[in-house]
Structure 1
């Protein structure tokens, strides 16, 4: 049993734990964070380089031809190639079905009306305007890049 005359002592709080040096768990967390950040940076850099190569290929193929009609024909061919890689059954479609595949997933649905008719038969026309070719090129490049980025 306890005796009532025991001397009481003051309770002293221990010193706070210093923040330096860090505990091993913090070092592991820092190393994992650096490793993940490096991997993400490397992956994004590789993707950007790949997109640049694909865009360069797209531009190189179009620069082979000077006539706007020939460039429109090449754009159509590039879309067919990308379609074969992305959706093999879509490369054999014609007319409105082909335009529906081209418009799928694009908010502004650029391949309708003039541009749709231009992509379908522009390679066979003699009177393709440069402004129409440029508008078509923007739409084709967006579609082409969207298809090949997933490969």
Structure 2
């Protein structure tokens, strides 16, 4: 008679699982990794340049101080310190907020970012009064250099913590 085993059919395996398209979990993981990479690049761009900025500004400030010790030109010192502060402020803060400031507004802005009224009512006022006067005479040029140095250090420190 009929052999029942002969009527059996061969085993049919399911098709192999394709690697494409990936499961939804892999899509989610890819989005998370991509988002983390974008965040890391933006973070490094924003924070990696700032320590270099501090060193560069410090080196520029040292050059200005050395040049002043050689020529003792107070007007040139005030103009160079003012320009250095402005360049640094533009590199750390939105250019639209800083670039157009002059006079009292500029000194008030420097004070607001320093935390004291040392520019508007103190030794920093010399930046406004003597920067473009050919007969400029600073009362205490070394104190002005020290003030600018402290402002730079504080601005870089705050920028690194932002």
- TM tier relative to shorter chain: 0.5 to 0.7
What does residue 132 of structure 1 align with? Answer: 140
Does structure 1 residue 144 correspond to structure 2 residue 147?
no
User: RMSD of aligned C-alpha atoms?
Assistant: 2.5
> Are the aligned partners of 1:62 and 1:75 in contact in 2 as well (CA < 8 Å)?
no
Match of 1:71 among 71, 77, 84: 77
What does residue 101 of structure 1 align with? Answer: 109
Number of residue pairs matched by the alignment: 103
**CA-to-aligned-CA distance 1:50-69 (integer Å, 9 cap, x gap):** 75554223111343342122
**CA-to-aligned-CA distance 1:96-143 (integer Å, 9 cap, x gap):** 2111110014233210235343111312231313x4222211111111
| Runs of 5+ unmatched residues, structure 2 | 1-50
> Are the aligned partners of 2:65 and 2:145 in contact in 1 as well (CA < 8 Å)?
no
CA distance in 1, matches of 2:85, 2:79: 10
Match of 2:64 among 61, 69, 80: 61
TM-score (norm 1): 0.56
What does residue 20 of structure 1 align with? Answer: none
**CA-to-aligned-CA distance 1:32-82 (integer Å, 9 cap, x gap):** xxxxxxxxxxxxxxx5x8755542231113433421221111000100100
What does residue 33 of structure 1 align with? Answer: none
> Are the aligned partners of 1:71 and 1:123 in contact in 2 as well (CA < 8 Å)?
yes
Match of 2:89 among 83, 103, 123: 83
Structure 1 segments, 4+ long, off by >3 Å, are 49-54
What does residue 119 of structure 2 align with? Answer: 111
Q: Structure 1 residues 75 and 50 mapped into 2: Cα distance closer, same or farther (>3 Å)?
A: closer
> Are the aligned partners of 1:62 and 1:74 in contact in 2 as well (CA < 8 Å)?
no
| Runs of 5+ unmatched residues, structure 1 | 1-46
CA distance in 2, matches of 1:111, 1:59: 20
